[in-house]
Amino acid sequence: MRSGSETASTPTSTVSDPRLSMIRQVYPQTPNECEECLRLGTEWVHLRPCLTCGHVGCCDSSPAKHATAHFHGIGHPLVQSFEPGEEWVWCYADDALLTVKLMVFFEFVDIERMLDQTHDPIADFINAATADVIDFAAAEPFEKFKEKTERLNMLETYPQLLKRADTIGYRVTKVVYRGYQASPTLQTMHDDAIEARTKLRLEAETEQQAQDLADMKQQRETDRERANQTLEEARVVHQNRLSTVATEAKLRLERAQRQQELELTRTTAEQDLDLRRRGHELELHQREADNAEQLRFLDGMGRLKVDITRYLVAQYQHPDKVIRIDGSTDSQLHLHERGA
C-alpha cells in the first residue's frame, strides 16, 4: 500500500469575471509542454494555457510557476486547466486562490490496468482530486466552504478520484483533510467581509440597544403615567370616601341634633302638659273645694231658713246668659240665648 499527500488549488466562487471579455480563440503554442520549462529544461506538474494569447505555462505547484510569471510579465489574467476532464478558468487578477491540503491513501490493485491506462498515476490522483475539490468548493461562498470542510474527509466527496483510481488499477481507501490556506487577496477579502459584517452587526446591535433603550424609556414613561393615573384614581377614591364619611358624619350629627331637639321638645311638651295637668288638677281641686264650701254655706243658709233662690238671684243680678223657655199648644220647645 502506498500513501501520498498533495495540494488541490481551487477558486471559491462561480461568479462571472468581468475580464472574460479578454478571452480569444487561441491555439496552445506547446500543447503538451510548458514553453519556458521546455526551453530551460525544468519540470512541471500541470499546464495552464493563456486564454488571450495561447501561451502554455506551468502551474503554481510547479517549481518555476511560469503561468503566473506570464501574467505578471504580459498582463494576461485568464488561464485554463489543461488537464483531462477539467474545464475551469482561473483569473490571476482576482487572486482568490484557496489551497486545500489532502492526504490520499490508496492501494495498488491491477498492474496491467495501470500500465495500460497511465504513465503517471500520482499526477492522475492530483488531477482527479483537484477536480473533486473544485466541484466541492467552487459552488459555495468562502464561509460555507469553511463550515463544510469536514465533508472533505469523506470518500463520497471524491467521485472523480475514485473513478480515476479504479480506471488505472488503484483503490483509494481514505482521504484525510489537512486544512486549507487562502491567498493574501482572498484572506484580505475574507477579513474585510468579516469586518464589514462585524461592523454591520455592531451597528445593528447598537441600533437595537438604542431602540431597546427608547422602548424601555417609553415603557417606563407609560408605567409612570399608569402609576400616576392609579395614584390619582386612588386619591379621588380616597377623597370621595372622605367626603362620604364626612357627609355621613354630618348627617348622623344632624340626625342626633334633631333627635335631641325632638327629645327636648317632647320632654318640654310632656313637662308642660304635666304642669297643665297639675294646674288643672289643682284648679279642679280648688273648684271642688270652693263648691264644697259653697254647698256647706248654702246648706248652712238653708238651715237658717234663708230663701236660696232669692239669694242666688240677688247674688247674680246680671247673669251672663238668660235662657227662656216658651210653651205653646203644639208642644215645640225653643231656646233663645240673649247676651246680658
pLDDT digits (tens, 9 = 90+) for 176-187: 999 887 767 666
Q: Is residue 195 part of a domain?
A: no
Element (H, E) at 316: none
pLDDT digits (tens, 9 = 90+) for 238-289: 999 999 999 999 999 998 998 888 888 888 888 888 888 888 888 888 888 8
Q: Which of 7-11, 66-70, 134-138, 266-270 has the highest mean pLDDT?
A: 66-70
* pLDDT value at 3 more than 80: no
Q: How far apart are CA 210 and CA 329, in angstroms?
A: 132
Beta-bridged to residue 153, according to DSSP, are none
Q: Is residue 245 part of a domain?
A: no
**In the chain, pLDDT over 90 holds for what percent of residues?**
38
Q: How far apart are CA 33 and CA 55, in angstroms?
A: 10
- Where does 12-96 show beta strands of DSSP type E? 47-49, 56-58, 78-80, 89-91
Domain that holds residue 166: 2-183
Q: How far apart are CA 195 and CA 197, in angstroms?
A: 5
**Buried (b) or exposed (e) across 90-100, using 16+ Cβ within 10 A?**
bbbebbbbbbb
How many domains does the chain divide into? 1
* pLDDT value at 208 more than 60: yes
Q: Is residue 227 part of a domain?
A: no
Q: Phi and psi (nearest 5°) for 104? A: -105, 125
> Which CATH number does the domain housing residue 72 bear?
3.30.40.10
Q: Is residue 253 part of a domain?
A: no
For the chain, the distance separating the N- and C-terminal CA atoms, rounded to the nearest angstrom, is: 174
Element (H, E) at 279: helix 184-303
Q: How far apart are CA 130 and CA 126, in angstroms?
A: 6
Q: Is residue 77 part of a domain?
A: yes
Copy the grid coordinates of residue 36.
519556458
Q: Phi and psi (nearest 5°) for 32? A: -115, 10
What 3-state class would DSSP assign to 97?
strand
Q: How far apart are CA 189 and CA 191, in angstroms?
A: 5
**Buried (b) or exposed (e) across 287-306, using 16+ Cβ within 10 A?**
eeeeeeeeeeeeeeeeeeee
Copy the grid coordinates of residue 188.
484580505
Element (H, E) at 177: strand 170-182
Copy the grid coordinates of residue 121.
498515476
Q: Is residue 178 part of a domain?
A: yes
Q: Is residue 176 part of a domain?
A: yes
pLDDT digits (tens, 9 = 90+) for 142-169: 778 888 899 999 999 999 999 999 999 9
Lowest mean pLDDT among 80-89, 131-140, 206-215: 80-89
Q: Is residue 328 part of a domain?
A: no
Copy the grid coordinates of residue 130.
483537484
Q: How far apart are CA 118 and CA 312, in angstroms?
A: 186
